Structure 1
Amino acid sequence: MTELAIETRGLTKQFDRHLAVSDLDLQVRVGEVYGLIGPNGAGKTTLLRMLATAEEATTGEIYIHGERLKRDHTNSSLKQRLGYLPDDFPLYNDLTVWDYLDYFARLYYLREPKRSRRLYDVLELVQLTNKRKSQISTLSRGMKQRLSLARTIIHEPLVLLLDEPVSGLDPIARMQFRDIIKSLHEAGMTIIISSHVLSDLEDFCTSIGIMELGYLVESASLQELYQRLSHQYILIGVWGKLEGLIEQLKNYPQVEGWEIIPQTQKVRVQFSGSQRDCAKLLRKLMTENIAITEFAPTQESLESIFLKLEHKQAS
């Protein structure tokens, strides 16, 4: 069984009369990128703050690589395995990029020459090497967010906790940040990232957790979620009339339904088979002399799955 990087048991956080996180059991394997999604107020930020020891749990336990994580001073070495980027961490605008990172590197007791090497490494990773002498006040929002990430990983943590890191960024800045996360994942880092931009999570997450009113209502690998909750569709285009295609679809067992796209020679087919079954369907249509101009299997997006689960919870 793959080692767990993060495990919580009965994790609960109560603020006066408000239950922010309730009896939460979470398991994240080593090397995963775990996407945490849910509406505002679902408890995502509170969960991340407890994992980062920035918030004390009311009840429950947290384990990092099998070792109990406590908020007191008894396991400082364990806390150094964590990197936490909250959604509102302040930057010191009067410092240069280099001095800012150097300050945090010193806080983690990085000594020369390792400290300078590490600064150059993280600046290259976040694509800010040419900005190392610039004042932070002159950076764009996307650059500032990448700098915040560099500060978060300066001490080479094993577990990275990111709270809405792409919130408010433009599409290019989101893409740059996403590429950095992919690089960290490829290097073996375990990452939990919360986000409202579900299309970004879909691109690089290995597992997804869905929170609702403090509860973890769903936690599974992205592949399992797709298999269990996502419908597969095939967009099929033909040259000529659609009648021949429709007749063939009626007799194919994995075809669960279809709709003709108006003013086109295309049909959107709901399909329950595997990729191999898709290939067999295409071969069947071609042997029946159906003039195929387009054959494009697609799946429902993560956003569609999330909305489906939201509707199920509401009903």
Structure 2
Amino acid sequence: MKQTPAVKTQNLTKRFGRHMAVNDVDLEIYSGQVYGLIGPNGAGKTTLIRMLTTAEDASSGEIYIGGEKLRSDRPQPHIKRQLGYLPDDYPLYDDLSVWDYLDYFARLYDLRGRQRQRRLQEVLELVNLEHKRRSRITSLSRGMKQRLGLARTILHNPTLLLLDEPVSGLDPIARQQFREVIKTLQSVGMTILISSHVLSDLAELCTAIGIMELGFLVESAPLEELYQRLSRQQIWISTQDDSQQVAAWLSQSAKVEGIEQARAGVLKMQFSGSQAEAAALLRSLVQSGFSVYDFRCVQDSLEDIFFKVGHQQSS
């Protein structure tokens, strides 16, 4: 029996006057997935997320959350309680303490008594802010504020988490801390949609990726499938010999193409062979008398795949 998607859209479209922000998008995200949404500014990512959160009405098309259709003519609070939404401009009340801020929102979610106290403690520990519970929000670093925003977003224990550029402007340490929280949420089965320009973070976190261009969802697939289908293998060779001679020798291999000199003494090339064939290539290089001191096989990154898909769309 086919699994019901946690999120599904059919022909989802949003127009602002003559501008088509989201164009006929069919999207499926399954329970437990971490789905990364990538694309340039203006591609329609934020508009799509806002429609999924019911903050923006669709011009046409349909949205299903857990198999139930979202409707604009009725409130559907039971669906909205399943959603946790962290926009890129979330509100923080700087004069409040961390605990009072979360307590305020917990009351709005109708968490009561010991349940509320227990849940506040749980989310503070999850985002590693328990030691800041009495601190004023204005004293927090940007990374701490982002984690506090995430804590507020998950207070009511949603099943679907929608994050729009949550690591924007964070330093590497703060991004790592945020990633660890997301991994924890994934481990307990939460479904997560995350939009970000930091593709290295998404490559580490996500199980599936969607790529948007000019309002269209031009790719949507499990991450491993994207790598298998669109990622090329490169070999980087560092040698003490004349690079042109090494390149001429390598060009005789049917598995090697696109040889370039990356820098002095270092060549990079596309390689279409297997790991065994790469090992054989290295062995032949050495047996032919070349002095090789570094030989590395690397796959195209998610960023490489993104640029490749963008180039295909524009050509």
Q: TM-score, normalised by structure 1?
A: 0.90
Q: Which residue of 2 aligns with 1:104?
A: 105
The answer to whether residue 17 in structure 2 is matched with residue 6 in structure 1 is: no
* CA gap 1:238/1:93 in 2 versus in 1, 3 angstroms: same
1:1-315 paired onto structure 2 within 5 Å: 1-238=2-239, 249-264=250-265, 266-282=266-282, 292-315=292-315
Between the aligned partners of 1:244 and 1:45, the Cα distance in structure 2 is 51
**Alpha-carbon contact 2:97-2:135 (below 8 Å) kept:** yes
Between the aligned partners of 1:2 and 1:275, the Cα distance in structure 2 is 36
* CA gap 1:253/1:140 in 2 versus in 1, 3 angstroms: same
* CA gap 1:225/1:137 in 2 versus in 1, 3 angstroms: same
Between the aligned partners of 2:263 and 2:99, the Cα distance in structure 1 is 58
Between the aligned partners of 1:283 and 1:5, the Cα distance in structure 2 is 50
Alpha-carbon distance, 1:108 to partner: 1.7
* CA gap 1:102/1:238 in 2 versus in 1, 3 angstroms: same
Q: Deviations over 1:11-67 (max 9, x none)?
A: 111222222111110011221111111222211111101100111112111111212
* CA gap 1:43/1:75 in 2 versus in 1, 3 angstroms: same
**Alpha-carbon contact 2:160-2:190 (below 8 Å) kept:** yes
Specify the SS of the correspondent of 1:4. Answer: coil
Alpha-carbon distance, 1:285 to partner: 5.1
* CA gap 1:274/1:31 in 2 versus in 1, 3 angstroms: farther
Instruction: Give the number of aligned pairs.
Output: 314
Task: For structure 2, list consecutive stretches of 5 or more residues without a partner in the other structure.
Answer: none
**Alpha-carbon contact 2:209-2:220 (below 8 Å) kept:** yes
Q: Deviations over 1:89-147 (max 9, x none)?
A: 11111211111111212222223322222211111111111000111111111111110
- Which sits farther off after the overlay, 250-259 or 181-190? 250-259
Using the aligned pairs only, state the percent identity.
60
Between the aligned partners of 1:301 and 1:67, the Cα distance in structure 2 is 36
Q: Deviations over 1:219-269 (max 9, x none)?
A: 1222222222222111123466668965764454422342344432x3323
**Alpha-carbon contact 2:241-2:290 (below 8 Å) kept:** no
- Which sits farther off after the overlay, 156-165 or 201-210? 201-210
Amino acid at match of 2:299: Q
Between the aligned partners of 1:154 and 1:278, the Cα distance in structure 2 is 51
Alpha-carbon distance, 1:275 to partner: 3.9
Alpha-carbon distance, 1:152 to partner: 0.4
**Alpha-carbon contact 2:123-2:151 (below 8 Å) kept:** yes
Between the aligned partners of 2:296 and 2:30, the Cα distance in structure 1 is 33
Between the aligned partners of 1:311 and 1:103, the Cα distance in structure 2 is 47
Q: TM-score, normalised by structure 2?
A: 0.90
Alpha-carbon distance, 1:75 to partner: 2.5
* CA gap 1:244/1:192 in 2 versus in 1, 3 angstroms: same
Between the aligned partners of 2:104 and 2:284, the Cα distance in structure 1 is 65
- Which sits farther off after the overlay, 187-196 or 142-151? 187-196
Amino acid at match of 1:55: E
Alpha-carbon distance, 1:192 to partner: 0.9
Alpha-carbon distance, 1:195 to partner: 1.2
* CA gap 1:124/1:245 in 2 versus in 1, 3 angstroms: same
Measured on the aligned residues, the alpha-carbon RMSD in Å equals 2.4
Specify the SS of the correspondent of 1:130. Answer: helix
Between the aligned partners of 2:268 and 2:255, the Cα distance in structure 1 is 14
Between the aligned partners of 1:164 and 1:144, the Cα distance in structure 2 is 14
* CA gap 1:174/1:262 in 2 versus in 1, 3 angstroms: closer
**Alpha-carbon contact 2:251-2:257 (below 8 Å) kept:** no
Alpha-carbon distance, 1:303 to partner: 2.0
- Which sits farther off after the overlay, 169-178 or 131-140? 169-178
* CA gap 1:146/1:251 in 2 versus in 1, 3 angstroms: same
